[in-house]
Structure 1
Amino acid sequence: MGFDNQSIGNYEAEENRYDTMPYRRCGRSGLLLPAISVGLWHNFGHSDDFTNAREILRTAFDTGVTHFDLANNYGPPYGAAEENFGRIFEKDFRPYRDELIISSKAGWDMWPGPYGNFGSKKYLIASLDQSLQRMGLDYVDIFYHHRPDPDTPLEETMGALHQIVQQGKALYVGISQYPAELTRQAAEILQQMGTKLCIHQPRYSMMDRWVEDGLMDELGRQGTGAIAFSPLEQGILTNKYLKGIPEESRAVKDGRYLQKEKITAELVDKVQRLNAIAKERGQSMAQMAIAWLLKDERITSVLVGVSSSKQMLDNVKTTENLLFSEGELSEIEKIISS
């Protein structure tokens, strides 16, 4: 279906777009993020539908979602999501640039050879320059190192992030998937240079709670914000797998992100029990899973990936009910840990 240059009308954002979305402070910084942010990991590649992708971002912004999250290698192919976002930005969002938080990342494989991966200064500086060109931007609001590099000295990687801020190519910097101790070291190195580690982007969901083993406490001590990705565990924490594995699911079509073997009868039973609690709360399973993350005030925002504007609206609706009773939390904990 591919991306094309067809226009779908001049875009004017909803006047009341800021009326209902809660905004949270990103650690001890001046930056506020919407409770729900949108990620462009899927559905923005060259094989995806232009009109649909454009409508997703319009719907997001119209409901107060001001944060669009990308990375250099989102696609397919690598770079495609940034290119397509750049085209949508030019068509719809350039007048609203100062109302948007646009982020990108580098750290995974991007181009061939020794300089297109991990965390060297050579890679990070070059990658961000390419990202800015693809998106048609002068700067990003947040630039992340996408994953730890076991071989490059941390001082070099953090030095590159500091340099990027000094050059005005990013307003804030962050890291993703760093464990607690490495996060502490990264924050200290940046602090010594005069740059704040503003935000950490960890994978976090009801079913994947590694961040609770020290990382969230470390972020709280530092005053570093946290934005959780994969909150729905690649679709497991939705109604998609309540009756097993449908033929059209990602687990069947693309095993890179979710293996069929992971969806066991035991897991389906857990999700069914969690879904019963969600129904009692007047929420979908996905909405409750997002709300469960946002119950922790240290979580600045939750990143959602959606395939339609309807899904976007459903996820935003989560913010209508973020409170849990002690009984609900206890029951959820019992199910998850069983």
Structure 2
Amino acid sequence: MLRDREGRPVGDWFDLHAHETGADVETRWDGPVPCVTPTERFFVRNHTTAPEIDPGAWRLLISGDGVQRETVWSLADLRRLTSVTLEVALECTGNGRRFFGDQQGTPRPGTPWRFGAIGVARWSGVPLSQLLDHAGLRRDAVQVTPVGLDDRYVVDGVDHGRVRRPLPLPKAMDDVLVALDMNGEPLARDHGFPARLVVPGWVGIASIKWLGELRVTRTEVDSPWNTLWYRMHGPGWEGADAELGRLPVKSVLDEQGDGDPTVGREVRLAGRAWAGEAAVERVEVSTDGGRTWRRAELDGDNLVNGWAHWELPWTPDRAGDHEIRVRATDTTGRTQPDRATDNDDGYLFDAVMRHPVRVREPGR
């Protein structure tokens, strides 16, 4: 097991709270990370309490001046339609927020996620485009605003309404799914039962849970979830540059190996990389603090919207402190920066991760 200089496992995940309905929960891994995250291990991020919804009474309304007619779907109606399955990662916008402080010395407020606010699942349901076409999408429609059925969000006495966030029509008509199942089973309550949106490659807040309405409009309509929150704030952030949609490229070193690293003994370094709407082109690893880099081998599936596993053998040649760094490049040419761009809310931490590791002499 790789450990840092303070004896903690490298790549360790931890729970922020006990796994209970309505809590923020980070995935914890005690071994190799699977290609698909088990539902019971999938991270949870809720703004309010997960609602109890009667599946028989639930309805999905498609409304707004961007469609020719309002339509209403029951759960049974949706299940009668042809189902598609997508293997897609969902990632909280603040995933990695803790490292703004730990690695860059600029702590940011909010849930102190490490890199456990992400998971890959097999989502099954109906393409959003199919439902919009059925409602008679108007040619001048510009966006869809999905609205959740969880409690209204009240902060400091201000009622911001139900969780909702506009989605540009080109993305809505591309690969977005109204998901009913997760990993072959109906959605769990914490993950949006009975239906949620899955927006591949985009920030997690776009994938609204407990879906109740889809408002299609011919003008752009904002919500607090793309103006007050889930938007870049701070010096230098304004206009379109501050909008959050597509996720950046990231990589991590997971807990691997047997025993502590030892001079002259090969250690298998391994981890994952992902890149939102792109696939991973390559992963490079440095064991000397960034002076030299070696290309890792990508193993298994390397799907757009998922994650790629990588591995690299390393034989330490000296005892003492080492710094392992991992960086990924995606198929669009984006490479992780040495430093994440700062912002007030600690969003989209994508810097090359630095992992201090202590190597011991043989026999010690």
Normalized per residue, the structure richer in helix is: 1
Q: TM-score, normalised by structure 2?
A: 0.27
Normalized per residue, the structure richer in strand is: 2
Query: Rg bigger for which structure?
Result: 2
Q: TM-score, normalised by structure 1?
A: 0.28
